[in-house]
C-alpha cells in the first residue's frame, strides 16, 4: 500500500502491525529530509496518530495478559491478572 493509500485509512482501524509499519515508514521519510515542508507536517501528524494507536493497542494487550497459577502439585489451577510493576 502506498503512503497516499495509507493516509486514507482510518488509524483507529489499523492493527498494531500495520500501524507500526506505517509509522516506521514515516520516520524514515522524515529522517531522510527530502520531504517538502507541508507534506512533512502532514505525515508527522499522521505519525503522532499512529503512535497513539500503537500505545492504545499495547495497553489493551497488556490488560489481557494473564499468568497461569498452579496448585501445590504444579498443575494449572487457573489464571490471575498479570502483575505489572
What's the domain count of the chain? 1
Domain that holds residue 42: 3-81
Using an 8 Å Cβ cutoff, are 14 and 53 in contact? Answer: yes
> Could you tell me the CA-to-CA distances from 66 to 16, 54, 78 in Å, in that order?
20, 20, 10
Model pLDDT, residue 63 = 72
Model pLDDT, residue 72 = 67
Model pLDDT, residue 4 = 58
The answer to whether the predicted template modeling score (pTM) of the entire model surpasses 0.85 is no
Q: Render pLDDT for 10-50 as a digit per residue (tens, 0 to 9).
A: 999 999 999 999 999 999 999 999 999 999 999 999 999 99
Amino acid at each position: 500500500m502506498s503512503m497516499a493509500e495509507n493516509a486514507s485509512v482510518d488509524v483507529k482501524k489499523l492493527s498494531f502491525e500495520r500501524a507500526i509499519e506505517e509509522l516506521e515508514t514515516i520516520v524514515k521519510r522524515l529522517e531522510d529530509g527530502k520531504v517538502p515542508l507541508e507534506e512533512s507536517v502532514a505525515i508527522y501528524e499522521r505519525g503522532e496518530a499512529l503512535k497513539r494507536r500503537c500505545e492504545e493497542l499495547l495497553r489493551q494487550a497488556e490488560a489481557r495478559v494473564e499468568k497461569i497459577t498452579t496448585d501445590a502439585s504444579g498443575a494449572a489451577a487457573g489464571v490471575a491478572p498479570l502483575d505489572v510493576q
